[in-house]
Structure 1
Amino acid sequence: MVEWRNWSGSVVARPAECARPRTATELAALVAPARKVRVVGAGHSFMPLCETDGVLISMADYEGRIEIAPDRKTVWAPAGWGLDRLTAALWAEGLSLINQGDINPQSLAGATATGTHGTGADLGSIATQACGFRLMQADGTIVECGPDLRPDLYEAQRLSLGLFGVALEIRIHVLPAYHLEERIERRPLAEVAERLDELGAATRHMEFFVFPYSDQVIFKTLHPAEPEGEFRDGNDIDETVFRLICDLGAAAQPMIPTLQKMMMRMSAKPSRRVGPAYRIFPSERTIRFEEMEYELPRANGMETLKAAIAYIRKKRMPIAFPFEFRLTAGDDIWMSPFNKGPGASISFHQYAKMPWRQEFAEIEAVFRAGDGRPHWAKRHTLTPPDVHRLYPRTPDYLAVRAAVDPGQTFANAHLSALFGLPAAEKA
């Protein structure tokens, strides 16, 4: 039995087998006889979505290529490709994703299956870019679904959590390749809070980072621009300084408020660069952390952030990382946290070397009080009653799951507990 760990090291799986199939024949030989199957991407889920004692499959080596539609508005892409590989391949064809998050190792399948997103007041999650799926089901057969082909399976699969089969290819909407201008500057939190709607509407993408003991934010915007010569690599946060601040804070927690103010003075310097969208979107994240993220109605976002900051300051909680605040459009996906309408996303992180469980539990209560719903792959404590209350289409979702995988091949212990699935075994 091998051991697998997620990116942060907090989720450990001991599958009976790890496999990297290259063909449909190899994949079917793994899936059809298996009691349990889960698929892993880059391991950036902080919940135990990939945990299994069965077969753990990576689709990173699966054969495939990009198939571009004649109108160049959609492509079929290998589901197991990382977004870094996918976006580079799209760029070579003169195409770009509509939007991305701020890291890009995640697989396309993992990003769509969990509702991963970037920022942009009028831009949806990566799941909203998907418009078709080819899946291998528990018996080894391959099916396709889309808006007009097995529509119930398609609606459930749009944010699947890996419950409906192994994704082979995903059809996604794309745009002609474009460049982005990135601007990073320091601004007062009070100003950003007062002008949030204005700032969100002024650029295609807007986000900010705020340390809980600072009144300044690292304010970041991305907007389409004309190319400007050679691309310059960069990062929105100086990781050299930040790593030192985190290590000092872990060793001497009472120093954290002072260290965070020092961090803002030392590293939050104005910068500007222009480059290909697929290279501007992601930032390097090498400092390990644990993460919880809640998606809130946009009208509640800023007040909830301020309430979380006030709570941390009042309790003198030792939180080393900043909050990340983003805007995302609403959607109509059954299990999407954004299906109530325009959203605000608040990510809450803690340095991986520091305690986080109690801190997350306390801040989660603040997020829930703001009518928030968690990112499925980030730390949360939802129960089956919570899921049914927050997501009215849960019965439809589970009905599709029962129809396509009655033996629960693709459900693990975490998902069975989350959705209250009855015990079942593959025949």
Structure 2
Amino acid sequence: MTKTGWQNWSGSVHATPSRIAEPRNEAELAQIVTGTDRVRVTGAGHSFMPLCETDGTLIRLDRMEGELDIAADGATAWAPAGWSLARLTERLWEAGYSFLNQGDVNPQSLAGAISTGTHGTGAALGSLSTIARGFRLMLADGSTITCDADENGEIFEAQRLSLGLLGIALAIRIEIVPAYHLVEDIRAVRLAELTEQWDDLADEYRHVEFWVFPYSDMAILKTLEPCDPCDPPEKQSDMAEKAFASYCKTVRRVPKLAASLQRQIMKGVKPAERRGPAYRIFPSERNVRFEEIEHQLPRANGFAALAEVIDWIRTNKLPVSFPFEFRLVAGDDIWMSPFNAGPCASISMHQYAEMPWREIFADAEPIFREHGGRPHWAKRHTLRFDDLSALYPKTEDFRAVCREVDPQGKFANAHLAALFRLGE
């Protein structure tokens, strides 16, 4: 196959792999893996960091054979790792099951979401990495293994959030729950009032989050709760995409309008509700392209960090067009998970993709880090190898497993090889 270009969803990461391959079965995949020195796998390209960038072979798993296999007790299911969350959650729904939690978009592949720590919101709910109970992996020599807590346990612990460094996930055994419906409520609330009520809201609702523009004192509060069965929603998004796209284009042309337009937008926010199957309510359309950094902070530090970064934006009159997103995520025990130090407040900072973002993000990142923040692996960050051991005590264990299963670094690209010092 001739060289062809690839770019991520936002358009900021470009690559020219020597080959883009779409195997249909494990035999074809093994032939590809053993016939190349460097391999990366891509899903929907929703990583803002160059996780899929390669000048070797880039593999898409969309066409791979595979079926959903639900356990007899209905507690877990083996799912094709290359399926998108959209496809998987729809199939689960048809079979009478759901995810316990999801993020607000669903094009990502199951493997991509789990291997980067993708998450939704909920004080008692972990990232998608926490639902993985086993993996079938293809290794660098084309062989396949199964790993879980009892079999190949060290590999399993590393694979739970692996950034694709150990091998290619073929299937993943995930936790599932009986299908349920959700009601989504959205309303505008003063940020100062929300700050005071936050702990009560987090206790009251299974899922709670908010968005706040940096130049507004109002926030958009969103809650999700299980509800009685109902028809699918007519509206497929929690926001007016066309209107927001128009606003972004205006701010790109005239950046100084950001503050006044953000305050005007918030005046127009009205209470809204959607109901329907959980897999239809969790995700929303997100077609306006953006760049993003995201940090997971100790829950007690979340509002202080948010207040400091907003004050910095206002003081410097920076043209930040998107609102911040503030969520809650439970702690976990996964080696390379940003949530393994305990419950977190997750703060996402976005910028319209057609506006300057690199310098703004670079200056904002130290603010989050000073409040104990650890970046999302797939969102923009400047971590270096020297940062890892301080942030992740299991870094050396993770690197040891990487060296064991992929001693030549076949599954690493330049970014990840440098970050984890693989091959040394």
Q: TM-score, structure 2 length as denominator?
A: 0.98
Output the CA distance in 2 between the equivalents of 1:153 and 1:182: 39
Output the CA distance in 1 between the equivalents of 2:328 and 2:111: 22
Q: Aligned residue for 1:350?
A: 351
Q: Aligned residue for 2:190?
A: 188
Q: Aligned residue for 1:22?
A: 24
**How do 1:117-132 and structure 2 match up within 5 A?**
117-132=119-134
Output the CA distance in 2 between the equivalents of 1:123 and 1:129: 10
Q: Aligned residue for 2:368?
A: 367
From 146, 149, 152, the counterpart of 1:150: 152
Note if 1:75 corresponds to 2:77.
yes
**How do 1:263-278 and structure 2 match up within 5 A?**
263-266=265-268, 268-278=269-279
Q: Give how far 1:229 is off.
A: 3.8
- Give the 3-state SS of the residue equivalent to 2:326 in structure 1: strand
Q: Give how far 1:230 is off.
A: 5.0
Q: Deviations over 1:82-129 (max 9, x none)?
A: 000000000000000111000000000000000000000000000000
- Give the 3-state SS of the residue equivalent to 2:102 in structure 1: coil
Q: Give how far 1:387 is off.
A: 1.1
- Give the 3-state SS of the residue equivalent to 1:195 in structure 2: helix
Q: Which amino acid aligns with 1:111?
A: A
Q: Which amino acid aligns with 1:130?
A: A
Q: Aligned residue for 1:290?
A: 291
Q: Give how far 1:303 is off.
A: 1.0
Q: Aligned residue for 1:103?
A: 105
**How do 1:157-172 and structure 2 match up within 5 A?**
157-172=159-174
Q: Give how far 1:416 is off.
A: 0.8
- Is the CA contact 1:245–1:263 (under 8 Å) kept in the aligned structure 2? no
Q: Give how far 1:400 is off.
A: 0.4
Note if 1:45 corresponds to 2:47.
yes
Q: Aligned residue for 1:246?
A: 248
Output the CA distance in 1 between the equivalents of 2:146 and 2:122: 30
Residues 228 and 390 of structure 1: CA distance in aligned 2, closer, same or farther (over 3 Å): same
Q: Aligned residue for 1:327?
A: 328
Q: Aligned residue for 1:311?
A: 312
Residues 251 and 229 of structure 1: CA distance in aligned 2, closer, same or farther (over 3 Å): same
- Is the CA contact 1:334–1:394 (under 8 Å) kept in the aligned structure 2? yes
Output the CA distance in 1 between the equivalents of 2:403 and 2:65: 29
Q: Aligned residue for 1:409?
A: 410
- Number of residue pairs matched? 422
Note if 1:261 corresponds to 2:298.
no
Q: Which amino acid aligns with 2:411?
A: F
Output the CA distance in 2 between the equivalents of 1:90 and 1:109: 16
Cα-Cα RMSD: 0.8
Output the CA distance in 2 between the equivalents of 1:325 and 1:221: 12
Q: Give how far 1:34 is off.
A: 0.9
Output the CA distance in 2 between the equivalents of 1:67 and 1:228: 27
Output the CA distance in 2 between the equivalents of 1:318 and 1:242: 16
- Is the CA contact 1:96–1:177 (under 8 Å) kept in the aligned structure 2? yes
Q: Which amino acid aligns with 2:316?
A: K
- Is the CA contact 1:232–1:275 (under 8 Å) kept in the aligned structure 2? no
- Give the 3-state SS of the residue equivalent to 2:223 in structure 1: strand
Q: Aligned residue for 2:383?
A: 382
Output the CA distance in 1 between the equivalents of 2:78 and 2:230: 31
Runs of 4 or more, structure 1, over 6 Å off, are none
Q: Which amino acid aligns with 2:124?
A: D
Output the CA distance in 2 between the equivalents of 1:231 and 1:280: 8
Output the CA distance in 2 between the equivalents of 1:251 and 1:333: 44
Taking only the aligned residue pairs, the percentage that are identical comes to: 57
Residues 230 and 361 of structure 1: CA distance in aligned 2, closer, same or farther (over 3 Å): closer
